[in-house]
Structure 1
Amino acid sequence: MSVVRNVVLAGATGNLGPAILEQLLKAGFHVTVFTRIGSTHEYPQSVTVKPVDYDSVESLTTAFQGQDAVVSTIAFAALTKQLNLIEAAVKANVKRFIPSTFGSDTTNPKTSKLAVFADKVALQEALVAEAAKGSISYTAIYTGVFFDWGLKAGLILDAKEKSITLYDGGERRFSTTTLESIGKAVAGVLKKPEETKNRGVFVQDAAPTLKQLKAVAEKVTGVSWQGKEVSVDNDVLPPASAELEKEIPDPNKFIFPQIIASVWGEGYGAHFQKLDNELLGLKEFTEADIEAVVAAATK
């Protein structure tokens, strides 16, 4: 495909959107942000802002005119809205679609069967079908758990209680990437459209173990941390599976347990074996880099 210049960012707020917006602007792309009608968020002057109705393919198609690519960071609860984005992007002849599939490797057969990722899998299948027809191309970016966000949100460790849950002993490596590096990966994909066409790309800043991060946390805080051992198969997944059997499951009771399984359970492909870091201009973290991220999250 030709050079990508004009990029739509759908979902520029939240955890990931601002980091991607920053890196797209630094890379020299002209960015148009789609916002919900009535949104009051403010963006840099160089950004074009277009209010859209995500439930209207017609509204989205009009807004997509003249765009080369779209990056979606639409929130977890609204992933199905991306099907409208795909349809509209195809109608507007947008060339590349980067979906909101950042995180766990949903191409892994075991991960793809988790209910929490059903919408992501459906989205990937829709993009593959459209790409097969030649109507659009796509790149899915897999990053593992968001490193800095996961630390601060308590997913990886509990900074307040100075504790860390050692799933399955805490010795399994897992790929993890900071929000900034994810933004750089997105920009890298759009700079290399042919090399990243119609496939998944895998990036990571590091692949630590939970035990390693416990030691790092103790080093940077100067205090001992509690490590609690928990079995993914015996302790984490059974309550989530039981909740999903109910007529109206409570998402709060199965979403995080299944995400935890995809990151620290056995056989979910959480430690990426083949990376695209070099292609996208990303360097893996040194021990000092890892310590800096942990230190910032445990202050």
Structure 2
Amino acid sequence: MSAINNVVLAGAAGNLGPAILEQLLKAGFHVTVFTRSGSTNEYPSSVTVKTVDYDSVESLTAALQGQDAVVSTLGAPAFSKQLNLVEAAVKANVKRFLPSEFGSDTTNPKTSKLAVFADKVAVQKALAKEAANGSISYTNIHNGPFFDWGIKVGLILNANEKSITLYNGGERPFSTTTLESIGKAVVGVLKKPDETKNRSVYIQDAAPTLKHLKALAEKVTGAAWQGKVVSVENDVLAPALAELQKENPNPDKFVIPSIITSVWGDGYGSPFQKLDNELLGLKEFTDADIEAVLAATTK
């Protein structure tokens, strides 16, 4: 495949988008950011900004002319909009599409059946179909929960309360990656299009257990942390599935529980068994590196 130079970033203002944008610019790509009408987000002068309508394939196709790759970091409410983006990318002869995966292994049979990932799976199928026809190529990046962000928002541990939930005892390693490293992995994929063509790649900065994170957090903060043992299957997934059976299920009661299940549940694909770190230029963290992340996020 010829070199990729022109890259569209859809979702540049989200949790992950800025980190990917930073690494794309550092690597010398010409980046075009897609924004919605009325957006007030500002970007570096070297970035081309185009206003698009994600509900219009025509709008997206016009904006994608001359682009080599699309990196989508669209958030959950817009996951399904990626189907239009895929169709438009094919019509505009885009070479590579990186969908908004960047999380759990949604190709895992158990994970793919969780309702919260239905839109991601639909996009995977659409891309696989187009790739089989030779219309486009794709790469899914799976990185587990965002390590630094996950700590800040309390998904991995609760810094304010100095507590950590030990899912299934907290002894299972889980793959996790910082925002910066995910950005570097995106660059790695785009610089090695042949090696990453039409497949999933798996990355991690570390695969700690929750018990080990608790010990490192106590070392970094100099304080004792509480650890509560919770059953993923009984205390997390079962209530989420029950909520989904209701006529109008509350997303607050099944979205995060489903994500927790995909990270710490038995048989959902974490920790990743085969990594693409070396291919994409990533080195795994030492305990000192993990402690540095904890020090920066548990203040």
Q: TM-score range with shorter-chain normalisation?
A: over 0.9
2:254 matched residue in structure 1: 254
- The CA distance in 1 between the partners of 2:4 and 2:284, in whole Å, is 26
CA-CA distance at 1:76 after TM superposition: 1.1
| Structure 1 unaligned residues grouped into runs of 5+ | none
- Counterpart of 2:35 in 1: which secondary structure? strand
- The CA distance in 2 between the partners of 1:144 and 1:234, in whole Å, is 22
1:210 matched residue in structure 2: 210
2:49 matched residue in structure 1: 49
CA-CA distance at 1:238 after TM superposition: 1.2
- The CA distance in 2 between the partners of 1:55 and 1:119, in whole Å, is 15
2:78 matched residue in structure 1: 78
Question: What whole-Å deviation, never above 9, does each CA across 1:252-291 have from its counterpart, x for those lacking one?
Answer: 1100001001001111111001000000000111111000
2:138 matched residue in structure 1: 138
Question: What whole-Å deviation, never above 9, does each CA across 1:64-120 have from its counterpart, x for those lacking one?
Answer: 000000000001111000000000000000000000011000111011110111111
| Structure 2 unaligned residues grouped into runs of 5+ | none
CA-CA distance at 1:147 after TM superposition: 0.3
2:16 matched residue in structure 1: 16
Task: Say yes or no: does 1:98 pair with 2:98.
Answer: yes
Letter in 1 for 2:75: A
Q: How does 1:29-44 map to 2 (within 5 A)?
A: 29-44=29-44
Q: Return structure 1 stretches of 4+ with deviation > 2 angstroms.
A: none
Letter in 2 for 1:123: V
1:66 matched residue in structure 2: 66
CA-CA distance at 1:231 after TM superposition: 0.3
CA-CA distance at 1:247 after TM superposition: 1.1
TM-score (norm 2): 0.99
Q: How does 1:1-299 map to 2 (within 5 A)?
A: 1-299=1-299
CA-CA distance at 1:195 after TM superposition: 0.4
- The CA distance in 1 between the partners of 2:257 and 2:75, in whole Å, is 18
Q: RMSD of the TM alignment (CA)?
A: 0.5
Give the count of matched residue pairs: 299
- The CA distance in 1 between the partners of 2:76 and 2:185, in whole Å, is 20
CA-CA distance at 1:40 after TM superposition: 1.0
Letter in 2 for 1:46: S
Letter in 1 for 2:89: A
